[in-house]
Structure 1
């Protein structure tokens, strides 16, 4: 049986949707601070063998744990979408921007000091070297080999070989 026409049962609800986990920016900042402390207190460990006077020992070496937004969300018990919603909520933007800056800085400085894998962190931070090669006027490169005759190709190969011989003789 469907609800009667013109019902207003929805007005009986005291709220719509779940209450946010963090009611204030200060509560969110405090929880993020706990994540930062947890990351520092829980490094990753690398088993590294050492040889001393003929005896080989395997020691666990503490390695820096990189902070991430996804790790923060897991720690806070929220989805990434919830974090993005906090970023857009009034009053929370300063806190979320500060947290994201701290995480970015921690990863950058860790990679710069060779405490984190530099290539992984560079990709995550969008710092990878990128170069794009284009043809004349920004057009796509085309293969000109198909357009050359066999005689032209042979002439160019002979020229390159002669250059190689001349530079080897010098």
Structure 2
């Protein structure tokens, strides 16, 4: 049975939709700061085998953990879309921008100091060297018509010169 026409049952709700996980920008900043501290306190571990006088030993080596927006979202128990929704809100945009800059800087400095894989971080940050071997929008590089004509004339002259020298 459908609701009666013109009903106003929705006004009886105490709230509309789920409450946001972070009510204020300060709450979001506090949670992000906890993530930063967690990353520092929980490095990745490499098992390094060392040999000395024929005896092999396993040495645990602490490796820098790169901060990521994905890692932050997992830590905060939110989706990336939720993170981007916070970034769109005027009150939260300064916090999300600051957090993203901290994460970017941590990765860049870690790669610069050779603590993180520079190739992976460069790709992640969009810093990879690129050389375009095609024209605009992937089209072939085509010289202008006068350049093509000039190239033909030069090739013809060179061929004629070779024939004359024989």
Q: Using structure 2 for the length normalisation, give the TM-score.
A: 0.80
Counterpart-to-counterpart distance in 1, 2:87 and 2:22? 12
Aligned runs of 1:30-69 on 2, under 5 Å? 30-69=30-69
Aligned length: 142
* Structure-1 residue corresponding to 2:80: 80
Q: Using structure 1 for the length normalisation, give the TM-score.
A: 0.79
Q: C-alpha displacement at 1:15, in angstroms?
A: 2.0
1:14/1:108 CA distance change after superposition, 3 Å: same
Counterpart-to-counterpart distance in 2, 1:128 and 1:90? 32
* Structure-1 residue corresponding to 2:122: 122
Runs of 4+, deviation exceeding 6 Å: none
Counterpart-to-counterpart distance in 2, 1:78 and 1:6? 37
Q: C-alpha displacement at 1:139, in angstroms?
A: 4.8
What RMSD, in angstroms, separates the aligned Cα atoms of the two structures? 1.9
Tell which deviates more after alignment, 7-16 or 81-90: 7-16
State whether structure 2 residue 110 is matched by structure 1 residue 110: yes
* Structure-1 residue corresponding to 2:22: 22
Gaps in structure 2 of 5+ consecutive residues: 143-166
Q: C-alpha displacement at 1:12, in angstroms?
A: 1.4
